[in-house]
Amino acid sequence: MTLFDGITARLVETDRLGVNVLERAGDDPGTTADQTVVFVHGNVSSSLFWQEIMQDLPSELRVIAVDLRGFGRTEHTPIDATRGVRDFSDDLHATLQALGVAEAHLVGWSMGGGVVLQYALEHPVLSLTLQAPVSPYGFGGTRRDGSPLSEEHAGTGAGVANEDFVQRLIDHDTTADAPTSPRSVFRSAYVAPGYTSEHEDVWVESMLSTSTAGGNYPGDAVATATWPGFAPGTTGVLNTLSPKYFDVSGIVDLPSKPPILWIHGTADAIVSDTSFSDLNHLGSLGVVPGWPGAEIAPAQPMVSQTRDVLAAYAAAGGEVTEVPVDGAGHSVHLERPAQFRRALLTHIGYVGRPADPAPPTEAIILRSAD
* Model confidence pLDDT, tens digit, residues 127-176: 999 999 999 999 999 999 999 999 999 999 999 999 999 999 999 999 99
Whether 230 maps to a domain, the answer reads no
Beta-carbon count within 10 A of 3 CB? 12
Measured CA angle at 161 (ends 158, 167), to 5 deg = 115
Whether 207 maps to a domain, the answer reads no
CA 3 to each of CA 21, 69, 338, 357: distance values in angstroms, whole numbers, following the listed order? 12, 20, 21, 29
Query: Structurally, how many domains does the chain consist of?
Result: 1
| pLDDT at res. 1 | 85
Whether 173 maps to a domain, the answer reads no
Whether 297 maps to a domain, the answer reads yes
Distance CA(76)–CA(18), nearest Å, equals 9
Backbone angles phi, psi at 264, to 5 degrees: -155, 150
Tell which residue, 288, 259, 252, 272, has the closest CA to residue 324.
Answer: 272
The whole-model pTM stands at 0.95
Q: Angle, to 10 degrees, between the axis of helix 111-122 and the axis of helix 86-98? A: 70
Distance CA(171)–CA(73), nearest Å, equals 18
Domain range spanning residue 302? 7-149+247-347
Predicted confidence band of residue 369 (pLDDT cuts 50, 70, 90): very low
What is the rounded average pLDDT of the residues 96-121? 98
Distance CA(297)–CA(282), nearest Å, equals 11
Whether 212 maps to a domain, the answer reads no
Whether 72 maps to a domain, the answer reads yes
Cα 100 to the center of its chain, rounded Å: 24
Whether 178 maps to a domain, the answer reads no
pLDDT of 361 above 90: no
Beta-carbon count within 10 A of 133 CB? 29
Distance CA(11)–CA(140), nearest Å, equals 34
* Model confidence pLDDT, tens digit, residues 316-345: 999 999 999 999 999 999 999 999 999 999
* Model confidence pLDDT, tens digit, residues 179-213: 999 999 999 999 999 999 999 999 999 999 999 99
Distance CA(349)–CA(358), nearest Å, equals 8
CATH of the domain at 321: 3.40.50.1820
Whether 165 maps to a domain, the answer reads no
Buried b (16+ CB within 10 A) or exposed e, 30-54: ebeeebbbbbbbbbbbbbbbbbbbb
On the question of a cis peptide bond just before residue 360, with omega within 30 degrees of 0, the verdict is: no
